[in-house]
Amino acid sequence: MLACSLAALPALAFAQVSVSVDTTKPGPVINKNVYGQFAEHLGTGIYEGMWVGPDSRIPNTRGWRNDVVGALKELKVPLVRWPGGCFADEYHWRDGIGARNKRPVKVNTHWGGVAEDNAVGTHEFFDLVELLGTEAYVNGNLGSGTPQEMAEWLEYMTSDTKSSLAELRRKNGRKEPYKVAYFGIGNEAWGCGGNMKPEYYAHLYNHYATFLKTPPGARPKIVASGGNDNDTKWTDVLSREAARGTDGISYHYYTLPTGVWDKKGAATGFPESEWFSTIQQTLRIDQQIKQNIAVLDKNDPQKKIGFYVDEWGTWYDVEPGTNPGFLFQRNTIRDAVVAALNFNIFHEYAERVRMTNIAQMVNVLQAMIITDKDKMLLTPTYHAYKMYIPFQDATKLPVAVDNDVAYSSNGKAVPGISATAARGKDGKVYVALVNTHPTRASDVALNVAGLNVGSVSGQVLTAEKMDAHNTFEQPQAVKPAPFSAKAADGKLTIKVPAKAVMVLAVEA
C-alpha cells in the first residue's frame, strides 16, 4: 500500500475514470533508447557535476564521480548524447585527446563564456559510457568544422586498421576501437548550429555524410539535424533530400510554462496557473510528433527513418544568483509529471520515435541529479525514469481512457489522466498512470483484455505541494512509495493521488 497517507495529500472528491488495456493486440517495441539522456559541456553538467578528475578527493573512477555513476547505473541509462548541443558545433575533437595538461584551453562561447580546458574529451567520454554500460551518441561539428575533421574523428574512434589515426588512438591509451552507436551531423542547424535553411543544411549533410566511413559492421546510425516546435519543413526537406543513409532525423522541443523565451516562468514558487500551462505546453509535443510523422509517412513509407527527439524537457528561468549561462533550475514533482507525460506520448509513437534524450543528466535544466561539491541528490525526474525502466524494450499495448474528467483552467482543458501500457521483457503487463491535476485525486477502474486481473503492485510518486523538491537538507522529501491494490467482485479500482505518477505490474 501507499507508504504515505492519501489523507495527508490535498485531494478533492475522486473522479471516476476507466482505463482499458488490450493484451491481445500487441504493438511495436518501445525502443530502450527512448530513455536516452544528454550530457553537454554546459555549466556544471559535466565538470564538477560528473567529472572531478582522477586526483579529486571525491571518490571517483578514472575521474568520474562514483556516486553519480552509481546512481545513473541504477537508471539503466541506455544512451548518452555528447558533447552537445550548441557546444558540439564549436568543439574540435583534437583539442580533447592526449595528455590532459597539454590540451588547449578554449572559451565556451555558448554557455557562460567560461574556460573549457578540454579535460573531458573522446577517451574520457567513452570511459563514462563503459562505466555506465550504455551506448554512445556522438554529435559531430558541422557548424565550425570541416568534412575532413568529422571523418577523421569517426576514423579515430572506430578504425581497427594500422592507419595513423587508429595508431594515435592506441598511443593515447585505447587499443580497441570504440563503438559509436549514433553519430549526429551537426546540431540545431536552424539556430546555434549555423542559422541555416533546411535546403542548405541538406546539401551540407549529404556532403559531410559522404566522407563518414568505418570498418564493416562499425558504422553508427547517422542522425540529421532536424527542426523544432511546430516546424515540419526540416523533416520534409531532409526526408526527401538527405534520406540516403539517414537513420534518424532529430527534433527538439522544450516545455516553457509561459511559452515565452524571455520570461519562461519559475521552477519553484509558481502559481497553479503555471502548473496548468506547463502541462498544457508539454502536451503540445503530441500533435507536433504526429505532424512530423505524417510527413515521414509520406516521404518514407518504408519507415526506414526514425524520428529522434534528442533534446526535450522543462526549461525555466535560471535559479536566482546563479550564472545565467549555466541553466541551473530546481526540479520538482511538476517535472516528474512532465517527464511521465512525455514518456507516455513517446510510447504512443514507438514505431517512429526510436530515440529521445532529455536535457540533461546532471545540474542542467531537467536534470536527474544535482550535486554541490561532494554532495549529491536525486530529483523527482530521476525517480520517474527509474519507475519507467520496465518499459525499456517492452511491447506496447493499446490503451483507452474513458470517462476522463478533464483538468481545466480559464476555459482551457487537458486530460486529467494519461495512461500507457506494455508487456515487459519479463512477460509482465505494466501500466503507467499520470494524474495531471494538482489537487484532485481520481479513481481509475482498470480493465485488461486477455488477462484476469487479480491485483496490481508497483510505485507511486507524489507530493503535497506543487513545487515539492529534494534539497541537500531533505534529499528524500520527494521519492516513490510502494503501492498495491486488489480486485474486489471482479473489479480493480486504483486510487490515483493528485499530481502523481504510478507504474504498476498487473498480476492475475
Active site residues: 188, 311
User: Alpha-carbon distance 183 to 508, whole Å?
Assistant: 44
H or E stretch covering 131:
helix 122-132
In one-letter notation, the amino acid at residue 417 is: I
Q: What whole-number distance in Å separates Cα of residue 296 and Cα of residue 359? A: 25
User: What is residue 418's DSSP assignment?
Assistant: E
Query: Measured between alpha carbons, how far is residue 68 from residues 240, 371, 477, 508 in Å?
Result: 42, 9, 19, 38
- Phi, psi (deg, nearest 5) at residue 385: -60, -40
* Helix and strand totals (H; E) in the chain: 9, 26
Tell me if 393 sits within 8 A of 350, measured CB to CB: no
Query: What are the E-state strand segments in 94-134?
Result: 106-108, 114-116
Gap between the Cα atoms of 163 and 159, Å rounded: 8
Our measurement of the distance from residue 320's CA atom to the centroid of its chain's CA atoms, rounded to an integer in Å, reads 25
Please report the DSSP string for 474-500 in residue order.
Answer: STTSS--EEEEEE-BTTBEEEEE-TTE
Contact 447, 24 (CB under 8 A): no
DSSP 274-293: HHHHHHHHHHHHHHHHHHHH
Q: Let me know: does 283 contact 440? Beta carbons within 8 Å.
A: no
